[in-house]
Structure 1
Amino acid sequence: MYGLSVRWSLADAPPGTLERLREYVEAESHAKFAGLPGLRFKTWRAREDEWFEGTYVFVSDEVRAEFQADFETRAADAPATAMTGVAPQIEPFEVVAVVRGPAGFRSAARFEG
């Protein structure tokens, strides 16, 4: 499996940016990616005042490369770019292994706490 990390810095983002990003994921982004062909899973990760990231895992390197090429053409107009005020760092990677623990996954726009 092959992945892509798309990370925006929050270091100089306006106050409340991470909360706006959380709301965007819940209201729009989650549903958008739930039906993306070739996507195995996506996670949204963040560190308050540091960064916000989308991490994608695809069925093949070809699907990853196609998604990456398309995203790079529109990254400047991405909602997270508008909210953070900075362009993302985009980095492909290989997934060596994934394990599903006994607690499993819950596919929802807001992760249970």
Structure 2
Amino acid sequence: MYGLSVRWSLAEAPDGVDAALREYVHDTSLARFTGMDGLRFKTWRTRPGEWFEGTYVFETAAARDAFAASFAEVAAESPGSKLIGSAPVLQEPFDVVAVAEGGSGFAAGPGPA
């Protein structure tokens, strides 16, 4: 499996951006990536007030690289960038060594509010 991390800094983001990002992910972005061809899964991670990140895991390197190239072209104008007020500070491909499903199982959908 082949991953991609896209991270934004929230250091200079406007007040309320954490709630706005959570709302955008829950109401819009989650549906956009659910069932996406070539994508195994995506997680959205945040350290409120510090950074916000999309972590993608693709079936093939070609799928990852194609998505990364197309996103790089529009990253500065993406919905996340508009909410945050700046472009991503990192777009980094990586290899996934393994994924383990724990005893509680895998759960898709929004996290805590």
TM-score by length of 1: 0.95
Q: Give the deviation of 1:94 after TM superposition.
A: 0.5
Q: Kindly report the root-mean-square deviation, in angstroms, between the aligned alpha carbons of the 2 structures.
A: 1.1
The equivalent of 2:19 in structure 1 is 19
**What whole-Å deviation, never above 9, does each CA across 1:47-93 have from its counterpart, x for those lacking one?**
01100000000001111000000101111110110011111110100
Shift, 1:112, TM fit: 5.0
Using the alignment, how far apart are the partners of 1:36 and 1:8 within structure 2? Answer: 23
Following TM superposition, by how much is the alpha carbon of 1:35 offset from its aligned partner in structure 2, in angstroms?
Answer: 2.1
Gaps of 5+ in 1: none
TM-score (norm 2): 0.95
Paired amino acid for 1:46: T
Query: Identity, % of aligned pairs?
Result: 54
Amino acid at match of 2:101: R
Mark the runs of 5 or more structure 2 residues left unpaired by the alignment.
none
Alignment CA distance shift 1:9-1:54 (3 Å): same
- In the alignment, the residues of structure 1 paired with residue 39 and residue 22 of structure 2 have an alpha-carbon distance, to the nearest angstrom, of 21
